[in-house]
Amino acid sequence: MADHPVDEKLPALKMATTGLQHVAAMYAGVVAPPLIVGAAIGLTATDLTFLTGACLFTAGLATFLQTLGIWKIGARLPFVNGVTFAGVAPMTAIVASTEDKSDALPIIFGAVIVAGLLGFIAAPFFSKAVRFFPPVVTGTVITLIGISLLPVAFGWAQGPDPAAHDYGSATNLGLAAVTLLIVLLLRRFITGFVKQIAVLLGLVAGTLIAIPFGATDFGPVADAAVIGFPTPFHFGAPQFQLAAIISLCVVMVVSMTESTADMLALGEIVDRPADEKTIAAGLRADTLGSAISPLFNGFMCSAFAQNIGLVAMTRIRSRYVVATGGGFLVLMGLCPMAASLIAVVPRPVLGGAGVVLFGSVAASGIQTLVRAGLDKDNNVLIVAVSLAVGIIPITAPEFYHAFPQTARIVLDSGISTGCVAAVLLNLVFNHLGNKDAQDVTHPMEAGEEITGASRAPAAP
């Protein structure tokens, strides 16, 4: 019997190019947290480069755990793992509250280790929530994942630095638009393998086009070392402080919620639905990867939703492709010069490709909602309110400004709040009390007047 596409091993060239495409799609998301936290601490350029390389290295290890798996660890789906952005706010808060900044990273690493181990223990219990994720919930969450990621692409399209004079300039937006156009043209008029790596080719073409405009910086390549290893506990032995541990345990819960939603989304896309066993194994990989990461000076790891969009668009479902991407991440961690090659891609070029990738995730969610029974009034209400709740942090970022910082870790994640809202509303409307959903009552039936006056009943 033929292998499921998830377990298919492609030829070496296809494996390498499609794996590299996954790395290109998630690179900016991996390096952003260490850059932000490192800058808050005041690390030297050398230490900042070291911290970034360490996060690439540990992202590769976590991706191996997730895609290849060992024992009951790893969803064995085409999942890229990397540093979760949900931890940036609490980590910078830890930095701000630490008097001696040299202790900040050891305190963060200690908290990540404890949160990862506790999450590993909780994984099989957390996975039982899968029964609360019918299509009306998963479709809503998948759609929210795509919608939540789109502002990231729009930010990339404007440029790398909001304070720069050319942020949002016609040149930057033009580069994003040209990259998007190239990807669309390749997807429309090219067939075969070239079509499947349209995003990678779009990134290469966009980078080349950006050179005459001065938007491509090759400085990082010239300055990068050829070989470098993330020495264990380079910044000092981990320290364990209760407040920091509690803060990052909250982040771990948020991360596990989002990873559960991501696994359900990816399972739908690759036609291998994620059951309770798969989710438990995937969460073990997330949490164990997080617990191991500080050993090599990395942060908390979680699934990267943007790569789900790449799987949805290319229809390349092999987990070995993503494992190959994990191999590239490890090599980048060991070879800073290799990592710098990806850094050469201008942020506006990434933004243009991101529109396709993240939009594909939202489209996959809509496809799931189509199968969710939206002819039922209850389901329409669930989707409507959950989407509204999930979009709040996107459209009104300061909506929860009066809440405590700990609560905002959860509330400022549209994916988490939308997911919780969808699960609770589904329980209330489809499980508690009267389970018979009413048919949708359209506000204006065919033939009604605009004023809403009802037509007289037709004669029998």
Identity of the amino acid at 333: G
Tokens 């639905």 found at: 273
Q: What's the pLDDT band for 116 if we cut at 50, 70, 90?
A: very high
- Kindly report the pTM of this predicted structure: 0.68
Tokens 């009943």 found at: 457
Looking at the domain assignment, is residue 459 inside a domain?
Answer: no
The string of pLDDT tens digits covering residues 392-406 is: 988 888 898 888 876
> Smallest Cα–Cα separation from 56: which of 84, 20, 27?
27
Mean pLDDT score, 320-329:
91
Mean pLDDT score, 180-198:
81
Looking at the domain assignment, is residue 436 inside a domain?
Answer: no
Predicted pLDDT at 388: 94
Looking at the domain assignment, is residue 438 inside a domain?
Answer: no
Contact 18, 78 (CB under 8 A): no
Query: Which ranges constitute the DSSP H helices of 335-372?
Result: 336-343, 347-370
Looking at the domain assignment, is residue 453 inside a domain?
Answer: no
Contact 26, 353 (CB under 8 A): no
The yes-or-no verdict on residue 276 having pLDDT over 60 is yes
Identity of the amino acid at 317: R
Phi then psi for residue 217, to 5 deg, are: -110, 115
Mean pLDDT score, 418-442:
71
Q: What's the pLDDT band for 460 if we cut at 50, 70, 90?
A: very low
Looking at the domain assignment, is residue 452 inside a domain?
Answer: no
Looking at the domain assignment, is residue 365 inside a domain?
Answer: yes
Looking at the domain assignment, is residue 387 inside a domain?
Answer: yes
Q: What's the pLDDT band for 120 if we cut at 50, 70, 90?
A: very high
The yes-or-no verdict on residue 455 having pLDDT over 50 is no
The yes-or-no verdict on residue 433 having pLDDT over 80 is no
The yes-or-no verdict on residue 279 having pLDDT over 50 is yes
Predicted pLDDT at 448: 40
Residue 456, both tokens? 């007289």
How many independent structural domains does the chain possess?
1
C-alpha pair distances (Å), 453 with each of 440, 446, 459, 460: 18, 12, 18, 21
Predicted pLDDT at 172: 92
Q: Any idea what DSSP says for residue 438?
A: P
Q: What SS3 string covers the chain?
A: CCCCHHHCCCCHHHHHHHHHHHHHHHHHHHHHHHHHHHHHHCCCHHHHHHHHHHHHHHHHHHHHHHHCCECCECCCCCCCEEECHHHHHHHHHHHHHCCCHHHHHHHHHHHHHHHHHHHHHHHHHHHHHHHHCCHHHHHHHHHHHHHHHHHHHHHHHHCCCCCCCCCCCHHHHHHHHHHHHHHHHHHHHCCCHHHHCHHHHHHHHHHHHHHHHCCCCCHHHHHCCCCCCCCCCCCCCCCCCHHHHHHHHHHHHHHHHHHHHHHHHHHHHCCCCCCHHHHHHHHHHHHHHHHHHHHHCCCCEEECCHHHHHHHHHCCCCHHHHHHHHHHHHHHHHCHHHHHHHHCCCHHHHHHHHHHHHHHHHHHHHHHHHCCCCCEHHHHHHHHHHHHHHHHHHHCCCCCCCCCHHHHHHHCCHHHHHHHHHHHHHHHHHCCCCCCCCECCCCCCCCCCCCCCCCCCCCC
The yes-or-no verdict on residue 289 having pLDDT over 60 is yes
Cβ-based neighbour number of residue 451 at 10 Å: 6
Mean pLDDT score, 437-460:
40
The yes-or-no verdict on residue 48 having pLDDT over 90 is no
Q: What's the pLDDT band for 452 if we cut at 50, 70, 90?
A: very low
Looking at the domain assignment, is residue 458 inside a domain?
Answer: no
Instruction: Output b/e per residue, 212-227; b: 16+ Cβ within 10 A.
Output: eeebbeeebeeebeee
Contact 29, 306 (CB under 8 A): yes
The string of pLDDT tens digits covering residues 67-79 is: 998 888 988 988 8
The yes-or-no verdict on residue 446 having pLDDT over 80 is no
Most confident of 78-92, 418-432, 442-456: 418-432
Per-chain mean pLDDT for the chain:
81
Contact 161, 347 (CB under 8 A): no
Distance CA 31, CA 26 (A): 9
CB contact set of 267 (below 8 Å; sequence gap of 6+): 77, 273, 274, 278
Predicted pLDDT at 158: 92
Predicted pLDDT at 28: 67
Please tell me whether residue 399 adopts helix, strand or coil conformation: coil
How much of the chain exceeds pLDDT 90, in percent?
A: 22
The string of pLDDT tens digits covering residues 127-186 is: 887 777 788 887 887 788 778 778 878 988 998 888 888 899 999 999 999 999 998 998
Reported as type and span, the H/E element at residue 15 is helix 12-41
Q: What's the pLDDT band for 342 if we cut at 50, 70, 90?
A: low
Predicted pLDDT at 89: 65
The yes-or-no verdict on residue 309 having pLDDT over 80 is no
Residue 167, domain extent: 5-430
Tokens 């596990």 found at: 256
Residue 346, both tokens? 């201008």
Predicted pLDDT at 274: 84
Contact 274, 75 (CB under 8 A): yes
Predicted pLDDT at 381: 92
Mean pLDDT score, 207-223:
80
The yes-or-no verdict on residue 444 having pLDDT over 50 is no
Distance CA 295, CA 293 (A): 5
